[in-house]
């Protein structure tokens, strides 16, 4: 089982936004309304004059696509506290230290924001919605931070897509980052990484009569994700084809720090809350999963689940009110096809079917659990086994237990270090720096 890793903001990132004194003076004003004859009429007309450290302030509605290539130490966006509109694509390529603030991006012909082969790209209070393609696509070993708050809704593709060894992180301290009502999924993570430290919302994605694998979070090809509840809970709800799907050695962790936030919430996503297959891994250390017609968690094809409420400092995990009466495959947690579940201190209650259903050479190791109101504690087929702290012998199984105990050597001991509080100081320093430079030019 993998250990929980809480991804913190790199402290050195803030230092990268300390601009040289000579560069601080360069200020370019763009008025896309055309009312100011002394301003640049478009963003593209200002770009050739934007050297390292430039600040491009934008007002009005810009009907253009903007292509940044080789940009370095660039601030681009609305005056602080305001917004500007870009009807077109924003493409950031082979660039570094690009800070974008307050842009509302809509592209009727493709993606809203594309980032490729770029480092330290920051989107502060940006909205990329109503695009024909993806809201945000990060590729070719890029890293992008969405900070303060953001919106990636009503896109024809994904809300956010990260692949090709790229990394997208969200730090929503100023409000909610909403990734909803996208045609395919809220998040696609394929051979890339994603993290959030709270206040993300994903609802009504992949609302289609031909669902396929269209779910709220679609992870493949070794993709990795951390869903941390720090600034607030992450909520994945009302996605009709399923909540989170992992394939091909993907990994996801849901964790919360209860002194700062409630648990992550995964609810009412049709047939399942989380499914993981083909060598994938799921960790639950602060999550509420409820209201699904099938299993809350479905683990299959040589995959693993680790659920805990016992690691020091992390939140509780509850799995409540899932499954459908009369369905023989209904369960709170279904473990199938040479898969494993290791559970410590999880509350599994009021589900239709057993708390755990283990099938086809699968196993469950659990202790310190709360089982209330389910149709049994655990049910196994003839090939599957359990190890638990439930009092049981071969001839007198405990009530609700229909499973063979593989051995009498007890459960595996689990321990973990107390998690560190995520450090959002660099993000907030960038945000403040933009505010200072914007205010100095008004």
Least confident of 12-16, 52-56, 436-440: 12-16
Least confident of 62-76, 251-265, 299-313, 424-438: 299-313
DSSP code, position 421: P
The number of CA neighbours under 13 Å toward the Cβ of 231 is 22
Calculate the alpha carbon distances from 207 to 109, 128, 289, 382 in Å: 21, 19, 20, 39
Q: Which two tokens stand for residue 82?
A: 């305001």
Q: How far is 38 from 346, CA to CA, in rounded Å?
A: 64
Q: How far is 424 from 427, CA to CA, in rounded Å?
A: 6
Per-residue pLDDT, 214:
82
Structure pTM? Answer: 0.93
Span 66-87, pLDDT tens digits: 999 999 999 999 999 999 999 9
95-100: average pLDDT? 98
Given a cut of 70, whether residue 23 has pLDDT beyond it is no
22-43: average pLDDT? 87
264-273: average pLDDT? 97
Q: Do 91 and 67 meet the contact criterion of CB atoms below 8 Å apart?
A: yes
Span 282-325, pLDDT tens digits: 999 999 999 999 999 999 999 999 999 877 678 899 999 999 99
Per-residue pLDDT, 159:
98
5-34: average pLDDT? 57
Q: How far is 340 from 307, CA to CA, in rounded Å?
A: 11
Q: Do 402 and 358 meet the contact criterion of CB atoms below 8 Å apart?
A: no
Span 409-424, pLDDT tens digits: 888 887 766 678 889 9
Per-residue pLDDT, 11:
33
Per-residue pLDDT, 25:
55
Residues in the chain: 442
Helix (H/G/I), strand (E/B), else coil: 405: strand
Q: Which two tokens stand for residue 386?
A: 């359990």
With CA atoms as reference, report the closest residue to 187 among 140, 232, 229, 242: 242
Given a cut of 90, whether residue 441 has pLDDT beyond it is no
Torsion angle defined by CA atoms of residues 323, 327, 328 and 332, in that order, rounded to the nearest 10 degrees: 0
Given a cut of 80, whether residue 27 has pLDDT beyond it is yes
What is the separation of C-alpha 266 from the centre of its chain, rounded to a whole number of angstroms?
12
């Amino acid at each position: 089982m993998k250990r929980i890793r809480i991804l913190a903001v790199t402290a050195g990132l803030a230092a990268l936004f300390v601009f040289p004194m000579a560069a601080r003076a360069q200020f370019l004003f763009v008025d896309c309304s055309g009312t100011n004859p002394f301003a640049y009429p478009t963003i593209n007309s200002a770009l050739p004059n934007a050297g390292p450290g430039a600040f491009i302030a934008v007002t009005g509605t810009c009907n253009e696509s903007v292509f940044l290539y080789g940009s370095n130490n660039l601030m681009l966006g609305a005056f602080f506290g305001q917004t500007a509109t870009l009807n077109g694509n924003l493409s950031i390529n082979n660039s570094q230290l690009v800070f974008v603030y307050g842009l509302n991006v809509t592209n009727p012909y493709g993606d809203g924001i594309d980032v490729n082969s770029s480092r330290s790209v920051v989107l502060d209070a940006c909205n990329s919605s109503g695009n024909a393609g993806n809201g945000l696509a990060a590729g070719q070993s890029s890293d992008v931070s969405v900070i303060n708050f953001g919106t990636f809704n009503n896109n024809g593709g994904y809300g956010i897509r990260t692949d090709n060894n790229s990394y997208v992180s969200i730090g929503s301290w100023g409000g909610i980052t909403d990734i909803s009502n996208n045609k395919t999924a809220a998040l696609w993570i394929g051979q890339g990484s994603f993290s959030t430290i709270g206040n993300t919302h994903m609802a009504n994605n992949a609302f289609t009569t031909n669902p396929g694998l269209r779910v709220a979070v679609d992870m493949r090809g070794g993709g990795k994700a951390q869903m941390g509840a720090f600034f607030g809970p992450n909520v994945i709800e009302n996605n009709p084809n399923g909540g989170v799907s992992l394939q091909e050695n993907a990994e996801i962790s849901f964790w919360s720090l209860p002194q700062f936030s409630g648990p992550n919430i995964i609810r009412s996503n049709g047939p399942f809350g989380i499914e993981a297959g083909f060598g994938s891994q799921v960790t639950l250390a602060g999550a509420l999963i409820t209201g699904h017609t099938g299993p809350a968690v479905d683990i299959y094809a040589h995959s693993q689940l680790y659920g805990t409420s016992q690691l020091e400092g992390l939140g509780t995990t509850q799995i409540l009110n899932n499954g459908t009466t009369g369905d023989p495959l209904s369960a709170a947690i279904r473990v199938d096809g040479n898969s494993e579940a290791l559970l410590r201190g999880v509350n599994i209650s009021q589900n239709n079917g057993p708390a755990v259903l283990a099938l086809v050479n699968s196993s469950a190791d659990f202790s310190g659990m709360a089982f209330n109101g389910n149709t049994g504690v655990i049910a196994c087929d003839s090939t599957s086994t359990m190890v638990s702290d439930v009092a049981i012998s071969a001839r007198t199984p405990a009530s609700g237990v229909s499973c063979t105990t593989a051995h009498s050597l007890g459960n595996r001991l689990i321990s973990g270090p107390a998690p560190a509080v995520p450090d959002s100081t660099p993000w907030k320093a960038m945000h403040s720096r933009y505010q200072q430079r914007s205010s100095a030019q008004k």
